[in-house]
């Protein structure tokens, strides 16, 4: 039997999440954001379910071309745009839409001799100060693009810095709406948090990422089920060793956990080299044989320790869920001082992944 650690990716959960997001989106089209190899789930693996979206957004041009090679006919958007003129030509050949967020990209697009014009998503910096033009430059760029021979159609976009907060989009949205005034051009601004909590930000294209994979975009609210979302990734392993501790015995590197009473400790085949967060402290929740318990001591490269004291029936071979339908990745992330996004994206290549399509 191989090492028992494996991830399962549930395509039926993606389909169910997309249906929930569609309801929030109303008449807006849905761009499933699938950067970082579909948030660690594997873009090609998820594609059969992602086909239900109107578009898929990625960062690397190779991932975008992979979507076309797999026959995806919807919009494919490069979220950071093309990095040089050559990439623009590739985009034209494969009908890839590009974000234009910066003056150099505008120059490249104006100069390039393309076999066919592109769909361009012009990006406003609405206060995040990462990518995008400020309002004045945005208006000038828009005027250039509206008459550019290399532009087939235009979408106006921005990205919110704080859509996870109750009052998080008002200022940015007002700025975006002012910048978009004039001729009707499709607009796009809503990530998962904005789509779920700020209906006014819907626009013509919504761009959910994390919610597609059934995790929560809200740091303070780590229950995706309350949002109607189903976790797509399940990370499971088994107990491969059991240790009986006396009072005063320590567990793992640095002896960071010391038993204050006799305890049973299960050693699980999963460590930080698999993508489990090394910073998860003692007590980080984990499901063993269907019951919640906690980790003990430091997570090591290939192993972690869990408390089996409350689970006398559990032993070598007991199933372990690190995260999944019974324990949200957001809960584990919160315990480890991070967000579900980071844990999902960090799933290591060495972890075997199987695709399941559980019935609803």
Ligand X SMILES: *Cc1c(COP(=O)(O)O)cnc(C)c1O
Residue 168 touching ligand X (CB under 6 A): no
Q: Which of 163/332 has CB closer to ligand X?
A: 163
- Which of 356, 276, 354 minimizes the C-alpha distance to 320? 276
Neighbours of 277 (CB within 10 A): 18
Q: Which of 208/252 has CB closer to ligand X?
A: 208
Residue 229 touching ligand X (CB under 6 A): no
84's CB contacts (< 8 A; 6+ apart) are 108
- Which of 178, 188, 215, 285 minimizes the C-alpha distance to 39? 215
Q: Which of 14/33 has CB closer to ligand X?
A: 33
Nearest residue to ligand X by CB is 209
Residue 20 touching ligand X (CB under 6 A): no
- Catalytic residue check, 123: no
Residue 208 touching ligand X (CB under 6 A): yes
Angle CA 230–38–227, to nearest 5? 25
Residue 158 touching ligand X (CB under 6 A): no
Extract the runs of DSSP E, i.e. beta strands, from 230-360. 233-245, 250-251, 257-258, 263-269, 285-288, 291-296, 303-307, 319-323, 353-356
Phi and psi at 5, nearest 5°, equal -70, 130
Query: What distance in Å separates the CA atoms of residue 167 and residue 189, rounded to the nearest whole number?
Result: 16
Stretch that binds ligand X, among 13-21, 209-217, 291-299, 350-358 (CB under 6 A): 209-217
Binding residue for ligand X (CB under 6 A) from 24, 41, 142, 207?
207
- Give the nearest distance from C-beta 59 to ligand X in angstroms: 8
- Catalytic residue check, 39: no
Binding residue for ligand X (CB under 6 A) from 5, 13, 28, 33?
33
Contacts within 8 Å (CB) and 24+ apart, 285-288: 285/327, 285/331, 285/332, 285/335, 286/320, 286/321, 286/322, 286/327, 286/332, 287/320, 287/321, 287/324, 287/326, 287/327, 288/239, 288/314, 288/318, 288/319, 288/320
Q: Which of 11/99 has CB closer to ligand X?
A: 99
Binding residue for ligand X (CB under 6 A) from 82, 96, 118, 210?
210
- Reduced to 3 states (helix: H, G, I; strand: E, B; else coil), residue 114 is coil
Residue 55 touching ligand X (CB under 6 A): no
Binding residue for ligand X (CB under 6 A) from 159, 198, 202, 298?
159
Q: Which of 99/322 has CB closer to ligand X?
A: 99
- Give the nearest distance from C-beta 231 to ligand X in angstroms: 15
Within 184-339, residue ranges assigned H as helices are 192-197, 329-335
- Give the nearest distance from C-beta 118 to ligand X in angstroms: 18
Residue 100 touching ligand X (CB under 6 A): no
Residue 191 touching ligand X (CB under 6 A): yes
Residue 192 touching ligand X (CB under 6 A): yes
Binding residue for ligand X (CB under 6 A) from 132, 203, 209, 297?
209
Q: Which of 162/243 has CB closer to ligand X?
A: 162
Residue 63 touching ligand X (CB under 6 A): no
Neighbours of 150 (CB within 10 A): 18
- Which of 279, 323, 319, 324 minimizes the C-alpha distance to 300? 279
Phi and psi at 212, nearest 5°, equal -60, -35
Question: Quick one: tokens of 339?
Answer: 């967000």
Q: Which of 123, 213, 253, 272 is catalytic?
A: 253
Contacting positions for ligand X (CB under 6 A)? 33, 35, 79, 159, 191-193, 207-211, 217
Tell me the catalytic residues.
Answer: 35, 253
């Amino acid at each position: 039997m191989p090492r028992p650690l494996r991830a399962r990716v549930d395509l039926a959960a993606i389909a169910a999440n997309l249906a929930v997001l569609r309801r929030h989106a109303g008449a807006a089209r849905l761009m499933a954001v699938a950067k970082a190899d579909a948030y660690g789930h594997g873009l090609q693996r998820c594609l059969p379910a992602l086909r239900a979206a109107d578009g898929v957004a990625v960062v690397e041009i190779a991932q975008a071309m992979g979507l076309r090679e797999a026959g995806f006919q919807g919009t494919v958007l490069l979220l950071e745009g093309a990095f040089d003129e050559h990439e623009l030509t590739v985009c034209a050949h494969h009908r890839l839409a590009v974000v234009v967020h910066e003056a150099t990209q505008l120059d490249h697009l104006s100069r390039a001799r393309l076999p066919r014009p592109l769909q361009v998503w012009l990006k406003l910096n609405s206060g995040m100060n990462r990518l995008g033009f400020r309002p004045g430059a945005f208006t000038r760029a828009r005027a250039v693009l509206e008459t550019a021979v290399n532009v087939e159609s235009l979408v106006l976009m921005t990205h919110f810095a704080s859509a996870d907060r109750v009052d998080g989009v008002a200022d940015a949205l007002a700025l975006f709406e002012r910048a978009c005034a004039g001729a009707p051009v499709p607009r796009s601004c809503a990530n998962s948090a904005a789509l779920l909590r700020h209906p006014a930000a819907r626009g013509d294209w919504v761009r959910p990422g994390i919610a597609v994979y059934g995790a929560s975009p809200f740091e303070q609210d780590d229950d995706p089920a309350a949002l109607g979302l189903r976790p797509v990734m399940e990370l499971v392993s088994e107990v491969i060793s059991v240790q009986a501790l006396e009072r005063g015995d320590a567990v793992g590197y640095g002896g960071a956990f010391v038993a204050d009473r006799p305890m049973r400790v299960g050693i699980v085949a999963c460590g930080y080299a698999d993508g489990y967060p090394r910073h998860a402290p003692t007590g980080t929740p984990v499901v063993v044989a269907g019951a919640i318990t906690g980790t003990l001591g430091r997570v090591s490269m290939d192993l972690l320790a869990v408390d089996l004291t409350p689970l006398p029936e559990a032993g070598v071979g007991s199933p372990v869920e690190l995260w999944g339908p019974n324990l949200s990745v957001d809960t584990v992330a919160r315990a480890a001082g991070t967000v579900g996004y980071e844990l999902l994206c960090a799933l290591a290549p060495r972890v075997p992944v199987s695709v399941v399509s559980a019935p609803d």
